[in-house]
């Protein structure tokens, strides 16, 4: 499917058309940060910030809401149980490549047996429009190392690159092709447009320097070697176990489920909400046993999930290098710094 051009003078018309297809979530300013918010009406189009750096929460929240009702029941019999799946048609507009990888990882995790009907139904009802980026937003990002600078195949229906007074639009799926045909806002890309896109790529390649002292393929093995490292105890002394890092992560998908009974003790709802492996009670089981009671073991577990466990389970990156966890950590704990330090420890271990 050949690329097209979306002139910026047509951008508002394009978004207005998208709003006729379902709810549209786009990046808007939440001073001094940015957030993916649902546009309420056409006046909200003016709030869209396609020049944003990184949002507070990833767009994952539209596939896996922080809080949702899974089902309601009115008695013990199966016919009295009704599943609730909120899968409204949705368009995610302006998703950066690393968050596209985060969406791919989330879907891969919830596609495993037993597949999660809610997440997969929302993904099926969601159209994704990606947005290219030209450089890092802050010193905590390391997407070049994690292979998430460019979008994964098949996640973005359309992928936009800002080339001045227009967007270079690459079509990634058949649904994206249908969007292009249905909206009279595009024109075919010409030779000058292709040259501008190539020049963008050249500038982009020069801006994304790698920040890990090793190839990411070695990260799982380096983490395995660091399991008994004193590093985890040292870093854990600063950790408050607040769970902020997991809340802002594009690939964390742990949740808890509660049944809330009505006063008749026979009816109620089953609810799901985000949970965090960094909370002290997360690994507590029946009888009060907690197999990850120490802060250091919880922090190590999160680092292992980001660099090893999720990759092994889903085949997709558990860390996309977005830097959100480090930027928002109240204790200034940096996952990039931890990944850098384990390489130094491995080098010292092999030198002795």
pLDDT per position as a tens digit, 246-303: 999 999 999 999 999 999 988 999 999 999 999 999 999 988 899 999 999 999 999 9
Q: Where are the domains of the chain?
A: 4-207, 216-351
Q: With contact defined as beta carbons under 8 Å apart, do 22 and 91 qualify?
A: yes
Distance CA 110, CA 116 (A): 5
Structure pTM? 0.95
pLDDT at 91: 98
pLDDT at 345: 66
pLDDT at 75: 84
Distance CA 74, CA 265 (A): 9
* Element of type H or E holding 89: none
DSSP secondary structure letter of residue 266: S
Lookup: tokens for 350: 């092999």
Taking each helix axis from N to C end, the angle separating 295-304 and 335-351, rounded to the nearest 10 degrees, works out to 90
Look at strands 67-74 and 267-274 and give their pairing: antiparallel
Distance CA 112, CA 347 (A): 37
Per the listing, tokens 């507070």 go with 56
Collect the ranges in the chain with pLDDT lower than 70: 345-352
Residues 6+ apart with CB under 8 A from 113: none
Distance CA 335, CA 344 (A): 15
For residue 128, give the nearest of 179, 164, 203, 73 by alpha carbon.
179
pLDDT at 347: 56
pLDDT at 322: 98
Q: How far are the Cα atoms of 98, 116, 187, 251 from residue 59, in angstroms, in the given order?
A: 11, 18, 29, 11
pLDDT at 252: 97
């Amino acid at each position: 499917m050949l690329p097209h051009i979306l002139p910026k003078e047509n951008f508002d018309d394009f978004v207005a058309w998208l709003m006729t297809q379902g709810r549209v979530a786009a990046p808007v300013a939440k001073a001094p940060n940015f957030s993916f918010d649902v546009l309420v009406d056409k006046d909200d189009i003016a709030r869209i910030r396609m020049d944003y750096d990184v949002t507070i929460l990833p767009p994952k929240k539209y596939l896996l809401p922080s809080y949702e009702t899974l089902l309601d029941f009115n008695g013990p019999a199966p016919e009295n149980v009704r599943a609730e799946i909120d899968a409204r048609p949705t368009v995610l507009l302006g998703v950066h490549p690393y968050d596209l990888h985060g969406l791919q990882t989330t879907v891969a995790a919830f596609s495993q047996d037993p597949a999660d009907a809610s997440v997969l139904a929302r993904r099926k009802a969601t159209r994704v429009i990606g947005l290219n980026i030209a450089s890092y937003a802050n010193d905590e990002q390391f997407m070049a190392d994690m292979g998430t600078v460019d979008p994964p195949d098949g996640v973005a229906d359309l992928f936009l690159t800002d080339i001045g007074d227009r967007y270079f639009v690459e079509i990634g799926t058949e649904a994206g092709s249908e969007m292009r045909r249905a909206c009279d806002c595009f024109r075919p890309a010409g030779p000058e447009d292709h040259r501008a896109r190539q020049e963008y790529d050249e500038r982009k390649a020069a801006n994304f320097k790698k920040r890990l002292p090793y190839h990411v393929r070695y990260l799982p093995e380096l983490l395995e070697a660091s399991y008994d490292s004193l590093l985890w105890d040292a870093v854990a002394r600063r950790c408050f176990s607040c769970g902020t890092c997991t809340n802002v992560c594009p690939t964390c998908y742990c949740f808890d489920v509660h049944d809330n009974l009505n006063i008749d003790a026979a009816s109620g709802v089953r609810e799901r909400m985000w949970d965090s492996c960094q909370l002290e009670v997360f690994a507590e089981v029946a009888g009060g046993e907690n197999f990850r009671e120490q802060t250091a073991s919880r922090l190590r577990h999160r680092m292992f999930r980001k660099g090893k466990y999720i990759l092994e389970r889903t085949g997709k990156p558990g860390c996309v290098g977005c830097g959100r966890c480090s930027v928002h950590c109240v204790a200034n704990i940096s996952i990039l710094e931890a990944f850098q330090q384990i390489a130094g420890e491995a080098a010292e271990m092999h030198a002795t």
